[in-house]
């Protein structure tokens, strides 16, 4: 047998290839984030962040959009989290493999691959028109909840499934009921994974423009009631750019959105990390 390349060289070449893939991935991320933040920098100041938009956003700030984003995302998570974590607990702890479980899983998987504009259309037909919620924070938030749901469900289910069965056995053997076991042992252990799922779902919701395009309205003022129309950051960005209002302010808005997402991710990761370390005694 004659080898074309020696295993040692193959090993080195493969290591290099993987290293390059890793570096390229990080670079792409850095370039995109860096580009957006750099382009947005010139308009970023306190007045932009805390000011009201003037002349459709050509001048002024984006404070109502930041509040709108926080508002719709909060509603989306308040609705999606209990539903999807509940479904995840059912799937991983109660359901025995069968048609119902297969159907729920298939449903969730399909839901996660539906284009967001379809969610937008559904939201318009169902929440805005049929349920007569109008263009509002509530309609937008509920539409985003539908989008975040499969993400949180899938991540939570995997994380609950991954909890060592020996914990549950230990708890049941002490005479704990199934619910006590889930509530006091399984869920606390799965909390880091569930939190990651919620953050991923939040990332989907907060960054979404298409799904809220037809559901949330486009008001420039701060929404107070859940029935008020609003204009979350991605939608504002979309309108500024497509209607040629102000590309500079579009980049500024994008930069704010990216920075908010980075901050939330870093803060939750740190908290989750601290919790895991305390729990696992490292």
CB of 168 to another protein, least distance (A): 9
Neighbours of 170 (CB within 10 A): 13
Please say which residue, 110 or 180, places its beta carbon nearer to another protein: 180
Site for another protein in 77-106 (CB under 8 A): 96
Q: Which is nearer to another protein, 68 or 196 (CB)?
A: 196
CB of 166 to another protein, least distance (A): 4
User: Is 282 near another protein (CB under 8 A)?
Assistant: yes
Contacts with 216 (C-beta within 8 Å, 6 or more apart), sequence order: 68, 72, 135, 136, 137, 139, 140, 229, 230, 231, 232, 235
Among the listed residues 119, 149, 173, 262, the single contact to another protein using CB under 8 A? 173
- Based on the shown chain and the rule CB under 8 A, indicate whether residue 279 belongs to the binding site for another protein: yes
Helix (H) or strand (E) holding 53, with range, is strand 53-54
- Rule CB under 8 A: choose which of 148, 189, 202, 205 binds another protein: 189
Q: How far apart are CA 216 and CA 201, in angstroms?
A: 19
Q: Which stretch binds another protein (CB under 8 A): 23-31, 72-80, 181-189, 213-221?
A: 181-189
Helices (H), the chain: 7-40, 46-50, 63-89, 99-113, 116-123, 137-161, 165-173, 178-181, 187-206, 210-213, 233-242, 247-280
Identified binder of another protein from the candidate list 98, 175, 242, 244, rule CB under 8 A: 175
DSSP helix/strand/coil, 59? strand
Distance of alpha carbon 212 from alpha carbon 137, whole angstroms: 9
Residue 171, interface with another protein (CB under 8 A)?
Answer: yes
Residues at the contact surface with another protein, assessed by CB under 8 A? 96, 164, 166-167, 169-177, 180, 184-185, 188-189, 278-282
């Amino acid at each position: 047998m004659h080898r074309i390349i020696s295993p040692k060289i193959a090993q080195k070449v493969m290591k290099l290839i993987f290293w390059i893939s890793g570096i390229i991935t990080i670079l792409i991320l850095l370039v995109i984030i860096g580009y957006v933040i750099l382009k947005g920098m010139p308009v970023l100041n306190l007045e932009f962040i805390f000011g009201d938009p003037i002349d459709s956003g050509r001048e002024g700030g984006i404070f109502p959009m930041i509040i709108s984003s926080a508002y719709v995302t909060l509603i989306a998570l308040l609705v999606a989290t209990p539903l999807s974590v509940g479904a995840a607990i059912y799937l991983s702890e109660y359901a025995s493999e069968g048609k119902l479980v297969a159907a729920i899983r298939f449903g969730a998987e399909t839901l996660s691959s539906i284009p967001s504009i379809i969610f937008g259309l559904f939201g318009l037909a169902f929440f805005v028109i049929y349920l007569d919620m109008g263009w509002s924070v509530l309609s937008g938030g509920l539409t985003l909840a539908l989008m975040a749901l499969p993400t949180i469900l899938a991540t939570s289910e995997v994380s609950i499934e991954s909890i060592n069965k020996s914990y549950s056995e230990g708890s049941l053997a002490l005479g704990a009921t199934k619910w006590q076991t889930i509530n006091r042992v399984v869920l606390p252990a799965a909390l880091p994974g569930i939190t990651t799922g919620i953050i991923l779902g939040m990332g989907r919701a907060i960054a979404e423009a298409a799904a809220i395009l037809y559901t949330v309205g486009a008001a420039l003022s701060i929404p107070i009631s859940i029935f008020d129309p609003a204009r979350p950051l991605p939608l504002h960005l979309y309108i500024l750019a497509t209607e040629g209002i102000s590309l500079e302010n579009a980049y500024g808005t994008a930069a704010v959105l990216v920075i908010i997402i980075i901050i939330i991710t870093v803060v939750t990761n740190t908290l989750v990390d601290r919790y895991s370390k305390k729990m696992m005694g490292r």
